[in-house]
Amino acid sequence: MKYETLHKPVYILMANLAASDIVTGVGVLITTSTTFVHAKAGVPVATALVRLLFTCFFLSALSNAYSLLALTAERYWFLVHGLTYETKITHDRCKVAIIAVWMWSGTLALLPVIGWSCVYPSQGGCLQLGGGSQPSYLVLMLILVYLPMVAIVVFNLRVFRCLWRQVSDIRQQEAAVHAQPSTSRKSAVTILILTVSFLVGWLPYCTVMANELGCREDCGNLDPAVIAFVVLNSAVNPVIYGFRLEEIRRGVKRLFVGRALETNAVSSTIQEHATRSQTTTANKMREW
């Protein structure tokens, strides 16, 4: 918001992905701390609270999936349909897409809380997972998480197909003028790495959810390793685009040390002006 150099669609959508990672981190902290406190006190977690915690995970999964989908679609349009990029991908449309992602994810995640769930976890035809979940709801969630996964993979395949056709010409041109690798190509590779991280982080969780649908009895609690993959995905994402994109690193540096740099710059400027003034005065005195 502060630096105009970051007022670009790709950085706006990347900030939205970072916000989704923060939601995931906060949700995991709340879930683990709540579970720990109740286990230490020997008190079972209330069904309503279990459903709310379950909702946090679905909100994280949906917002991560659709935020990454929006970011991948932006890079796809930039690289494959570059001639119409400026007119089609605008700041306002990115902001509308972000609002739509969070409204869509929040509404779907809150459905069990507002009624699409079983009255009791042990009710016939219901799953004990999430304090009593309707199988139809889990099916819907899995479909709505897998669909953006498939779309993300398709977008990336088309992007790299386009880049593969042009990579030899781009490399020759860059080598001829001793230029650095193009930003567009580097950002496309960054999105691919984020996609792989997302699939590695969330596919095990979705697989466990699918396995729950096939269980006729209680399949037990979630494996902690599955939750660890989710946490690592959100923890690794900022490191990926922080190290891959130079402009992000500059923004972080300006955010934390910007005031110190500005103070040093002002002090240097004042000292330089004072030195020049003293030199000019001394020269005039000699001439006089």
Let me know: does 58 contact 140? Beta carbons within 8 Å. Answer: no
264 and 230 co-located in one domain: no
Look at residue 249 and tell me if it is in a domain: no
Enter the DSSP assignment of 179. P
Q: How far is CA 5 from the centre of its chain?
A: 20
Look at residue 150 and tell me if it is in a domain: yes
* The predicted structure's pLDDT at residue 100: 94
9 and 69 co-located in one domain: yes
Is 61 exposed, middle or buried (CB count within 10 Å of its CB: 0-12, 13-18, 19+)?
Answer: buried
193 and 287 co-located in one domain: no
229 and 286 co-located in one domain: no
- C-alpha distances (whole Å) from 284 to each of 210, 270, 278 are 86, 21, 10
Q: Which of 223, 220, 31, 42 is CA-nearest to residue 128? A: 220
Let me know: does 104 contact 62? Beta carbons within 8 Å. Answer: yes
Look at residue 139 and tell me if it is in a domain: yes
33 and 127 co-located in one domain: yes
129 and 262 co-located in one domain: no
Per-residue pLDDT of the chain (288 residues; tens, 9 = 90+): 777 777 888 888 888 888 888 888 888 888 888 888 888 888 877 777 777 888 888 888 888 889 888 988 888 888 778 788 888 888 888 999 999 999 999 998 888 878 787 776 666 677 776 667 778 888 888 888 888 888 888 887 787 777 666 665 555 554 554 445 555 566 667 777 777 877 777 777 777 777 766 665 555 555 667 777 777 777 777 777 777 777 777 777 777 776 555 555 445 555 555 556 556 655 655 665
- C-alpha distances (whole Å) from 79 to each of 44, 68, 159, 160 are 52, 16, 7, 9
pTM of the model: 0.71
* The predicted structure's pLDDT at residue 99: 94
* The predicted structure's pLDDT at residue 265: 47
- How far apart CA 266 and CA 183 sit, in angstroms, is 32
Instruction: Give the residue numbers spanning the domain of 43.
Output: 4-244
- Count of Cβ atoms closer than 10 Å to residue 246 Cβ: 11
Look at residue 271 and tell me if it is in a domain: yes
* The predicted structure's pLDDT at residue 98: 93
233 and 271 co-located in one domain: no
Look at residue 270 and tell me if it is in a domain: yes
Look at residue 164 and tell me if it is in a domain: yes
Look at residue 11 and tell me if it is in a domain: yes
* The predicted structure's pLDDT at residue 101: 93
206 and 268 co-located in one domain: no
Structural domain count, the chain: 2
Residue with tokens 């991948």: 72
138 and 83 co-located in one domain: yes
122 and 186 co-located in one domain: yes
